Amino acid sequence: MDARLNFLEAPIVPPAGDEPPVVRLRHFTRRFGDNTILSDLNLDIAPGEFVALLGRSGSGKTTLLRTLAGLDSAEDQDVTVPNSRAVVFQDARLLPWKKVWRNVALGLRGGDIKDRALSALDEVGLAHRVDAWPLTLSGGEAQRVALARALVREPKLLLLDEPFAALDALTRIKMHRLVLDLWRAHRPAVLMVTHDVDEAVALADRILVLDAGRICAQDRIAIPRGERGELARPYREKFLRILEGSAPSDAVIPFPAGGHQ
Ligand SMILES: Nc1ncnc2c1ncn2[C@@H]1O[C@H](COP(=O)(O)OP(=O)(O)OP(=O)(O)O)[C@@H](O)[C@H]1O
């Protein structure tokens, strides 16, 4: 059995169908000079939905994530994103001269900011490292701090830009478990950029594939997370083929009907 799937047992409430989307892009285009990087893109993400974004290098994934994060100008385009959003990058980007808890508390206001930071660090399993200096943390611990710093703000939209790509395989599996636990507890909508098809299939409600600035394929993973071992293999194979450019983008693989709790 695939070890990374053992932890995915708890039931998941599917995204509410009637609420307005947290993210809404219509006919979004982004050019750098003469290069069109994102082209006429339409995208909705529902509240609490976990979306993975795959695509070959240079397909525009980070450009899209930066747009949703407000780090790239969207000019007068039709883009709806919540003000309440947070980003976790591949590197934790902690301030080395501030202790761990102060990194988490950065920018928070109010009398209880230390308590909130400590509680977030407890949630990511770092209660014992709150007074540590960032440079003494392992890569996995630093990413846990980055997750705590994001979630302490209770974002409606959590943007993850290859957050586990630099970690070893075992740490990555632990981080998958943690990110799902945090997602269940806080229910942000998530957009996670990844190169890892297995990661996308294990974690997401829905997978999008970007190719040359367009969404060339997408699918819902209609299998409960706790049962995605062998059952999800056709999804992995399908998305790998799409990424390798050997499958038509509308390839359909039959699955039993049903929800994706
Ligand atoms: N500020 C910029 N100025 C000019 N070109 C840019 C800029 N940012 C990105 N690009 C170009 O846009 C294209 C898409 O880049 P982007 O980083 O979004 O791709 P990506 O899918 O995230 O790639 P990777 O998987 O390698 O991170 C690339 O060709 C890149 O060179």
Residue 185 has pLDDT above 90, yes or no: yes
Ligand 1 — pocket residues by CB below 6 A? Answer: 32, 37, 55, 57-63
Cα 210 to Cα 114, 173, 242: the distances in Å are: 40, 25, 10
Ligand 1 centre distance from Cα of residue 241 (Å):
23
Please name each of the domains of the chain with its CATH number.
3-9+33-94+154-243 (3.40.50.300)
Lowest mean pLDDT among 6-10, 19-23, 106-110, 170-174: 6-10
Task: Give the per-residue pLDDT at 10.
Answer: 31
pLDDT, tens digit (0-9, with 9 covering 90-100), for 4-30: 333 333 333 444 567 889 999 999 999
Please tell me the pTM assigned to this model.
Answer: 0.87
pLDDT mean over 113-119: 95
Task: Give the per-residue pLDDT at 73.
Answer: 76
Ligand 1 centre distance from Cα of residue 62 (Å):
7
Q: 63-83: buried (b, 16+ CB within 10 Å) or exposed (e) per residue?
A: bbbbbbbeebeeeeeebebee
State the CB neighbour count (10 A cutoff) for residue 229. Answer: 16
Pairwise CA distance, residues 251 & 257, whole Å: 17
Sequence-distant (6+) residues with CB within 8 A of 224 are 8, 11, 12, 260, 261
Ligand 1 centre distance from Cα of residue 194 (Å):
14
